[in-house]
Amino acid sequence: MKSNTITLMIKKFLLEIHNISRLNFDFFFKFLKKHIIQIYIIK
């Protein structure tokens, strides 16, 4: 029962990520790149 709930949560989470990536992949990629660069500079 508990593992089934976790599976459903993971599926929902993946679906949300998929929707976000479809709508805002360009924006998300730029955002991620910017943060990676900032983290790299800080280190």
Q: pLDDT 10s per residue in the chain (43 long)?
A: 578 888 898 899 888 877 776 666 777 778 888 888 777 776 6
Residue-range definition of the domain harbouring residue 23: 1-43
Alpha-carbon span 43 to 40, nearest angstrom: 5
Total domains, the chain: 1
Map residue 43 onto helix, strand or coil. coil
pLDDT for the residue numbered 23: 66
Question: In this structure, which amino acid lies at residue 38?
Answer: Q
